[in-house]
């Protein structure tokens, strides 16, 4: 049990190496090795979460070396549920998209599995690390593999990947410059040490510059509007297997990094009392929520609509984090966890529909409730959660965000959340109307003939329903998650 944090990172890293070797020896082993690696990570994350519940925060020293010389993993109430969400979603996405990968990638499938598992390694490492520079290294691992995964899509995917690479490199450079300034001022890169040393330097312009650089880098990587230009192309032109992994995880991990920097490295005392940027940031989040929702409304393609919903959701979490009260912080953290499930469900459903219809344009989705009832049923659950209908998990995090906005007196953010929810109603019911009726029904010709069910592959449908079940389960247990993890993390 004491080695769970090491298995969490080492298992997928070792699996990536074994997959690359198996590609030359026995190709059929590549997928089982990937499942074993991510499955070990998921089980380890559950063990880590159980240990946090029993003991609270703990540190794991790789090789027994103490920081700052050694690499330390810090696990606490904040990142334990995030580790479970990331590893669990990655495992479900891998299993769900096996046939898609084999069909789309062909002989390149082993390399694709290697990239997928390495990307998850980077994201899990970013979540668990206690060192600001190691976070940068792991961020680059996740990003570089993400660029390659993005490039494996349609004919426009390489251009989208190039845009993602250029903007992602700028974001990573901002982050690294900020960390470099902190190291110049304090002589350490360990987050706990930084938290202890920075209060004496709160009045320094260099510390303020470091915070802004780090923040801008994170926002660019998280695709906060108007720094979102890379995201629509990357997630709409990448292969469905890539989108099902990256869309639910990458932006959410970056939101977690923002929370970690705010709460652990710089502390709320600096963020909300010393520099007081919350007014500007919440206004930016309001614009992000409204702009993302309106851009989603303008789309006539389900996948393009989904990527702009992600842009709006980033605004939800950034705004909640910067409202400056515990209710809003609770909503932001809970929404981070919920959004992993909601986005996973949405993009798995899109992959299922695209696999049968070879398109996700609204005009081509007629009659899908009859031909693909199980996929559409799961999509309905995901949509209800994104809208905020109880008992789906999205309702509870939105409730905390709304209460936090009222407590902070930010009624513009409150209005933006309500506006976005109403737009989501329009978005999904427009989709459901298309999928409910066939072309004959629209023209009054009945549609009473026999309709053959043509569902997606069983592994994809089962994984899709696992994500949908997770949405309901997290909704029912939201109180336990808040009381056992989020409230202790904010104390």
Looking at the chain, the whole-number percentage of residues with pLDDT higher than 90 is 63
Q: Could you tell me which residue, 114 or 451, shows the higher pLDDT?
A: 114
How many secondary structure helices (H) and strands (E) does the chain include? 23, 2
Per-residue b or e along 420-455, where b marks 16 or more CB atoms closer than 10 Å to that residue's CB: bbebbbebbeebbebbbbbeeeeeeeeeeeeeeeeb
Q: Assess whether pLDDT exceeds 60 at residue 416.
A: yes
296 pLDDT band, cuts 50/70/90, is very high
Would you state the pLDDT for residue 438? 59
Over 80: is that where the pLDDT of 407 sits? yes
Longest dimension (CA), the chain: 76
Instruction: Please tell me the distance from the alpha carbon of residue 282 to that of residue 272, in angstroms, as a whole number.
Output: 12
Q: Is residue 271 part of a domain?
A: no
Q: How far is CA 299 from the centre of its chain?
A: 22
How confident is the model at residue 450, as a pLDDT? 58
pLDDT at 27: 85
How many residues in the chain?
A: 491
Q: Which residues pair with residue 61 across a beta bridge?
A: 72
| pLDDT band with cut points at 50, 70 and 90 for residue 432 | confident
Which pLDDT score, from 0 to 100, does residue 440 have? 53
> What pLDDT score does 487 carry?
92
Summary mean pLDDT of the chain: 89
Q: The domain containing residue 342 runs over which residues? A: 291-491
- 113: its two tokens: 């599995």
> Is the model's pLDDT at 447 over the cut of 50?
no
**Contact status, residue 488 vs residue 379, Cβ threshold 8 Å:** no
* Closest among 117, 124, 173 to 146, alpha carbons compared: 117
Q: What whole-number distance in Å separates Cα of residue 203 and Cα of residue 317?
A: 28
**pLDDT class of 297 with cuts at 50, 70, 90:** very high
What's the rounded mean pLDDT across residues 29-34? 92
153: pLDDT strictly greater than 90: no
What does the pLDDT read at residue 24? 87
305 inside domain: yes
Q: Mean pLDDT, to the nearest integer, of 251-265? A: 93
Instruction: Give the C-alpha distances (Å, rounded to integers) separating 290 from 275, 294, 387, 418.
Output: 26, 6, 14, 10
Instruction: State the Cα–Cα distance between residues 108 and 17, nearest whole angstrom.
Output: 15
Number of domains the chain is built from: 1
At 1, the pLDDT band (50, 70, 90 cuts) reads: low
Report the pLDDT averaged over residues 99-127: 91
As a whole number, mean pLDDT of residues 260-276 equals 89
The two three-digit tokens of residue 39, written as one number = 């499955």
Work out the average pLDDT over 128-138. 91
Helix axes 278-297, 302-322, angle to 10 degrees: 170
Confidence of residue 345 (pLDDT cuts 50, 70, 90): very high
pLDDT in tens, 191-216: 888 988 888 888 888 999 999 999 99
Contacts of 280 (CB under 8 A, 6+ apart): none
Provide DSSP, 139-208: HHHHHHHHHHHHTTSSTTHHHHHHHHHHHHHHHHHHHHHHHHHHHHHHS--BHHHHHHHGGGGTT-HHHH
pLDDT, residue 443, reads: 41
Residue 445 has pLDDT above 50, yes or no: no
Distance CA 311, CA 2 (A): 38
Mean pLDDT of the region 456-484: 92
- Rounded CA-CA distance 290/296 in Å is 10
What pLDDT, on the 0 to 100 scale, is given for residue 481?
94
Give the model confidence (pLDDT) of 53-70 as tens digits.
999 888 888 777 777 677
Q: Is residue 258 part of a domain?
A: no
Report the C-alpha gap between 138 and 250 in whole angstroms: 12
Q: How far apart are CA 126 and CA 85, in angstroms?
A: 14
- pLDDT of 146 higher than 50: yes
The pLDDT assigned to 449 comes to: 52
Asked if the structure places residue 28 within a domain, the reply is no
Which of 295, 292, 290, 296 lies closest to 311 in space, CA to CA? 292
| Whole-number Å distance between alpha carbons of 81 and 488 | 12
In a domain? residue 222? no
% of the chain at pLDDT higher than 70: 97
Q: What confidence score (pLDDT) does residue 448 get?
A: 47
Q: How far apart are CA 26 and CA 34, in angstroms?
A: 14
Average pLDDT rounded to a whole number, residues 125-145: 92
Residue 144 lies in a domain: no
Does 245 map to a domain?
no
Mean pLDDT for 97-108 is: 87
Residue 119 falls inside a structural domain: no
Q: Is 126 helix (H, G, I), strand (E, B) or coil?
A: helix
pLDDT above 70 (res 442): no
pLDDT of residue 47: 93
- φ, ψ (nearest 5 deg) of residue 285: -65, -40
């Amino acid at each position: 049990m004491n080695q769970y944090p090491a298995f969490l990172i080492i298992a997928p890293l070792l699996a990536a190496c074994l997959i690359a070797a198996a590609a030359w020896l026995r190709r059929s082993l590549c997928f089982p090795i990937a499942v074993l690696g991510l499955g070990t990570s998921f089980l380890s994350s559950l063990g880590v979460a159980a240990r946090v519940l029993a003991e609270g925060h703990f540190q794991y020293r790789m090789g027994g070396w103490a920081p700052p010389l050694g690499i330390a993993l810090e696990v606490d109430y904040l990142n334990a549920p995030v580790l479970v969400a990331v590893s669990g979603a990655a495992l479900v996405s891998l299993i769900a998209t096996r046939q898609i990968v084999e069909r789309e990638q062909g002989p390149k499938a082993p390399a694709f599995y290697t990239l997928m598992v390495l990307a998850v390694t980077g994201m899990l490492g970013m979540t668990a690390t206690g060192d600001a520079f190691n976070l940068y290294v792991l961020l680059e691992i996740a990003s570089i593999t993400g660029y390659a995964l993005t490039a494996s899509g349609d004919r426009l995917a390489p251009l989208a990947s190039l845009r993602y690479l250029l903007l992602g490199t700028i974001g990573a450079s901002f982050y690294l410059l900020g960390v470099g300034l902190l190291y110049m001022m304090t002589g350490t890169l360990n987050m706990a040490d930084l938290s202890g040393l920075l209060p004496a330097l709160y009045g320094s312009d260099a510390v303020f510059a470091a915070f802004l650089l780090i923040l801008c880098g994170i926002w660019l990587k998280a695709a906060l509007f108007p720094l979102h230009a890379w995201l629509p192309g990357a997630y709409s032109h990448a292969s469905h297997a890539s989108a099902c992994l990256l869309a639910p995880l990458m932006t959410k991990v970056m939101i977690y990094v923002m929370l970690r920097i705010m709460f652990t490295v710089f502390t709320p005392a600096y963020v909300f009392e010393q520099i007081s940027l919350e007014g500007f940031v919440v206004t930016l989040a309001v614009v992000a929520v409204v702009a993302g929702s309106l851009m989603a409304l303008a789309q006539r393609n389900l996948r393009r609509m989904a990527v702009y919903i992600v842009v709006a959701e980033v605004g939800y979490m950034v705004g909640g984090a910067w409202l400056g009260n515990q209710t809003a912080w609770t909503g932001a953290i809970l929404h981070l966890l919920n959004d992993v499930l909601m986005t996973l469900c949405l993009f798995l459903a899109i992959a299922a529909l695209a696999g049968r219809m070879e398109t996700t344009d609204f005009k081509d989705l007629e009659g899908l409730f009859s031909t693909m009832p199980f996929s559409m049923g799961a999509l309905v659950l995901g949509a209800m959660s994104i809208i905020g209908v109880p008992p789906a998990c999205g309702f509870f995090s939105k409730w905390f965000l709304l209460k936090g906005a009222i407590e902070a007196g930010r009624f513009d953010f409150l209005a933006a959340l309500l506006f976005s929810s109403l737009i989501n109603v329009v978005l999904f019911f427009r989709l459901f109307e298309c999928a409910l009726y066939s072309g004959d029904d629209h023209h009054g010709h009945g549609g009473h003939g026999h309709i053959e069910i043509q569902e997606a592959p069983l592994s994809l449908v089962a994984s899709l329903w696992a994500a949908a079940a997770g949405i309901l389960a997290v909704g029912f247990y939201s109180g336990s998650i808040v009381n056992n993890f989020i409230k202790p993390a904010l104390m």
